[in-house]
Structure 1
Amino acid sequence: MFGRLFRRGGNDDAIPSALYGAIVAQSRAPALYRDMNVADTVDGRFEAVVLHMVLVLRRLGSGDAEMRAIGQTVFDQFCTEMDRSLREMGVGDLGVPKRMRKIGEVFYGRSAAFDTALAEGDAAGLAESLARNIPAAEGREVAADALAAYMIASDASLKAQSKAQLLASELDFADPATFLQDETSHVDQPTAGQTD
């Protein structure tokens, strides 16, 4: 059940492994599930990891050649962990490539949508994409506006960090608990649908 997705991988390169570990740790921030209503399921956790991967790879991709290379290695580790997780779930050798292609399509789709919205400062567009794609906890809907504000703040915070801080895995994400919506806005709402 994607167990490896939530612990550090075995990459021999310490910096990408530490960065990936920090991404996974932030994706498990309780406020994302308890208050922003991301489904605490395999799909919800996967989407939370993808969201934070996009933020970090966006920052690394804006850096020098070394940072871009590290970003590629972080992404490669993500793919390796996904492959291993699928096999742990019992997906056979013939089925893994097809599932991995699907995962790649999902990642690149999310990455393109999120990156465009972040680059344009389009909070409404980002919230719309999040509401459409992030699975919600049962009986609720994702607090998409709050989640978009969290992503925008995290993007700005990561952008302000130095290369030394980033390579030390000191990823300065915003605190998701500071972007919560009014509790009455997401109680007894229908579950948001998920698209690919």
Structure 2
Amino acid sequence: MITKLISRLIGRDPERDALVPLYRAVVSAARLPVWYQAGKVPDTIDGRFDMIATILSLVLIRLEREGDRAVAASARLTELFVDDMDGQLRQQGVGDIVVGKHVGRMMGALGGRLGAFRDGLAWEGDLDGPIARNLLRSDAADPAAVAVLRHGLVSLYTALEATPVNELLDGAWRT
């Protein structure tokens, strides 16, 4: 109890730190070349953000299945995302005054993806629309690229679903 209090006072949260491997796995999955080559997601700062937010959304949707048990983990994982995006913005030279506004927009984008992909993964849901809008940023996206992205995202989500929550929280999912 005292250790937790001291850790929080000096900015350390052991439960949040335990999720760093999972966040790193999300970022690693978002960096796979297939998304950018065959899937035609633009290999830009925005495109990489789009992939990280999408993969993170799939992980958060998977954690929703665990109910209250995973609420704290989802919140901490989202905090890691915010910290990462804040750091990325600062590295790009975005000043303190507007970082919050940018992070707010990024959180809105994450929330939009959560809703879109939650609906798209539901029975008979539409994934093609959210893929075109959120990853290819075009309603007239290349159907072959959409198909590659749909297949990859559905495969990833299937792997997430097959992974016991404890393994997932440790940053591993089954392939």
* TM interval, short-chain normalised: 0.7 to 0.9
Give the C-alpha shift of residue 66 in structure 1. 3.8
Please, which runs of 5 or more residues in structure 1 have no aligned partner?
Answer: 1-9, 174-196
Q: Identify the residue that residue 103 of structure 1 maps to in structure 2.
A: 106
Pick which of 66-75 and 52-61 moved more: 66-75
- Report if the CA contact (8 A) 1:165-1:171 is conserved: yes
Q: Identify the residue that residue 191 of structure 1 maps to in structure 2.
A: none
- Report if the CA contact (8 A) 1:38-1:135 is conserved: yes
Distance, in Å, in 2 between the alignment partners of 1:42 and 1:85 is 10
Distance, in Å, in 2 between the alignment partners of 1:62 and 1:84 is 30
In structure 1, what residue type is equivalent to 2:58? Answer: L
Give the C-alpha shift of residue 154 in structure 1. 1.9
Distance, in Å, in 2 between the alignment partners of 1:145 and 1:111 is 20
Q: Identify the residue that residue 77 of structure 1 maps to in structure 2.
A: 80
Q: Identify the residue that residue 66 of structure 2 maps to in structure 1.
A: 63
In structure 2, what residue type is equivalent to 1:98? Answer: K
Give the C-alpha shift of residue 116 in structure 1. 0.8
Distance, in Å, in 1 between the alignment partners of 2:85 and 2:18 is 19
More helix, by proportion? 2
Q: Identify the residue that residue 24 of structure 1 maps to in structure 2.
A: 27
- Report if the CA contact (8 A) 1:15-1:169 is conserved: no
| CA 143–166 in structure 1, closer or farther in 2 if over 3 Å, else same | same
Deviations 1:144-173 (A, max 9, x none): 122112222222221121123213311235
Give the alignment of 1:92-171 within 5 angstroms. Answer: 92-122=95-125, 125-135=126-136, 141=142, 143-171=145-173
Distance, in Å, in 2 between the alignment partners of 1:68 and 1:114 is 19
Distance, in Å, in 1 between the alignment partners of 2:101 and 2:71 is 27
SS of residue in 1 equivalent to 2:40 = coil
Give the C-alpha shift of residue 11 in structure 1. 7.1
Match of 1:54 among 57, 66, 75: 57
| CA RMSD in angstroms, aligned pairs only | 2.2
Q: Identify the residue that residue 176 of structure 1 maps to in structure 2.
A: none
Q: Identify the residue that residue 181 of structure 1 maps to in structure 2.
A: none
Paired-residue identity, %: 30
- Report if the CA contact (8 A) 1:15-1:168 is conserved: yes
Give the alignment of 1:180-195 within 5 angstroms. Answer: none
Give the alignment of 1:30-41 within 5 angstroms. Answer: 30-41=33-44
| CA 23–11 in structure 1, closer or farther in 2 if over 3 Å, else same | farther
Please, which runs of 5 or more residues in structure 2 have no aligned partner?
Answer: 1-11
| CA 11–145 in structure 1, closer or farther in 2 if over 3 Å, else same | farther
> Structure 1 length normalisation: TM-score?
0.73
> Structure 2 length normalisation: TM-score?
0.81
| CA 87–94 in structure 1, closer or farther in 2 if over 3 Å, else same | same
